[in-house]
Amino acid sequence: MTSARRVFVVGVGQTKFHKPQTQAWDYPDMAREAGQAALRDAGLSYEKIQAVVASYCYGEPTSGQRAVYELGLTGVPVYNVNNNCSSGSSALMLTRRLIQSGMEECVMALGFEKMERGLSERYTDRISPVKRHMDHMVNIGADPEIIQPYMNNMTSDVIKLFAYAAREYLEKYPNAKTEDFVEIAYKNHKQSVNNLNASISREVQRDQIKSKLMLCSPITFWMSAPTADGSAAAIVCSEDFMKRHNLQSRAVEIIAQHMVTDMPSSFGNSFLNLSGYHMAKEAASKCYADSGLMAQDVDVLEVHDCFSCNELFMYEALQLAEEGKGVELIRASQWQKNKAGGELCYLGNRWVVNPSGGLESKGHPIGATGLAQCSELVTQLRGEASKRQVDGAKVALQHNFGIGGAAVVTMYKKYEQQQHFSFPAKL
């Protein structure tokens, strides 16, 4: 079901993402920095915000309120969202639906995370929300043992899930090689050099990616997204609000958005589907149907590359390539310089994926990741990404995934004011 009420992102902001436990800041500090940046970007005061949706995973109840109070005490509703790694895009989706419902005119989505070095679960006296997934992973053939002695169970299980999905892909499509995962990681790290907010902002050579610290074959250290601390925010509003406040020049429209949670296919015999492939494909199909656009209409994408193999899976789930043909995109990629002098990789000579450097370079502060993706794509469609800029970008696609599970796909389009022509009177 779609709504006729149009929704726009008019302000975005984020902090630099840092390696956990390396900065003398806490989540309210991060949230204040990102929230204020989004307000400045939109040219709005906090008093214009009618509700806030806060996303985080590592924190106590009402952490959203504590973070938001750094921006002001206006009494607005604050909703706290936790959807694992897709928390940020889930917050964005809720802000959009608040606007579509007509209940609010301007809402902020604010994501933040203060993390540990690895993934963890605080409560061990009750059933883990991902236990069914991890048990099923073992049931269909994964090794139940921890893969590295220094990893906890949760970190080990997540890496293992995507490693087994990668093995399934390599077995199912013999044309695919581990080197394709290496090339995707190389692309993302190389594109990160122009993202000053990335946790790791440097090029990493292919031989390093292939050889450094095998986590679980075929995934190595440089093919995985590190945890991070950081925050990101987006201000979303109705068309009437946008026009009343003269925000047309800052506006990017969310033209389609869908979340898909686990289906029977998630618990079949496929590690790919257990790690979100079918969910992403379904969400993307719904977005294309709603927008009337196709993958060929998309110019730039931010994809949830928690591991480089998952980015390859998403080329196919998001319909950039047919199943089994995603490797052809990376092999046919071309590096091109943009007008600002930055280098970008065009997959299949058509799409730029993760110009930000992706999660593998930016880092992955779970509650903020989806909103950082939004921030990048809005900046791209405005033409303000400098050396990361995909020249001429008009349509963008975002994919964000959380185990447990939820896949969120969002489509954006550059706002273009309707042209009104006056014709001369007949003589």
Q: How confident is the prediction along the chain (427 residues), in pLDDT tens digits per residue?
A: 444 699 999 999 999 999 998 999 999 999 999 999 999 999 999 999 999 999 999 999 999 999 999 999 999 999 999 999 999 999 999 999 999 999 999 999 999 999 988 787 888 889 999 999 999 999 999 999 888 877 888 889 999 999 999 999 999 999 999 999 999 999 999 999 999 999 999 999 999 999 999 999 999 999 999 999 999 999 999 999 999 999 999 999 999 999 999 999 999 999 999 999 999 999 999 999 999 999 999 999 999 999 999 999 999 999 999 999 999 999 999 999 999 999 999 999 999 999 999 999 999 999 999 999 999 999 999 999 999 999 999 999 999 999 999 999 999 999 986 533 333 443 3
pLDDT of residue 418: 53
Residue 47 backbone dihedrals phi, psi, to 5 degrees: -65, -15
Report pTM.
0.95
pLDDT of residue 417: 67
Cα atoms found within 13 Å of the Cα of residue 141, Cβ hemisphere only:
11
Q: Dihedral sign, CA of 247, 411, 370, 82? A: positive
Given a contact cutoff of 8 angstroms between Cβ atoms, the answer to whether 312 and 185 are in contact is: no
pLDDT of residue 1: 43
pLDDT of residue 425: 40
DSSP-assigned letters across all residues of 264-322: GGGGSS-HHHHTTHHHHHHHHHHHHHHHT--GGG--EEE---SBHHHHHHHHHHTTSS-
Listed residue (75, 73, 108, 114) closest to 94, CA to CA: 108
pLDDT of residue 422: 38
Q: Dihedral sign, CA of 41, 187, 366, 377? A: positive
pLDDT of residue 328: 97
| 237: β partners | 8, 106
- Distances in whole angstroms, Cα of residue 406 to Cα of each of 83, 143, 276, 374, 409: 7, 25, 8, 17, 10
Q: Which residues contact 423 (CB under 8 A, 6 or more apart)?
A: none
pLDDT of residue 419: 39
Set out the domains of the chain in order of their start, with CATH numbers.
7-118+226-411 (3.40.47.10)
pLDDT of residue 148: 82
Tokens of 45: 């005061």
Listed residue (353, 31, 422, 302) closest to 184, CA to CA: 353
pLDDT of residue 329: 97
Tracing tokens 């925000």 back to the chain, one arrives at 247
CA distance linking residue 109 with residue 24, whole number of Å:
24
Q: Measure CA 240 to chain center.
A: 28
For the chain, counts of helices (H) and of strands (E): 14, 14
Q: Which residues contact 329 (CB under 8 A, 6 or more apart)?
A: 315, 320, 321, 347, 348, 351
Helix, strand or coil, per DSSP, at residue 189 = helix
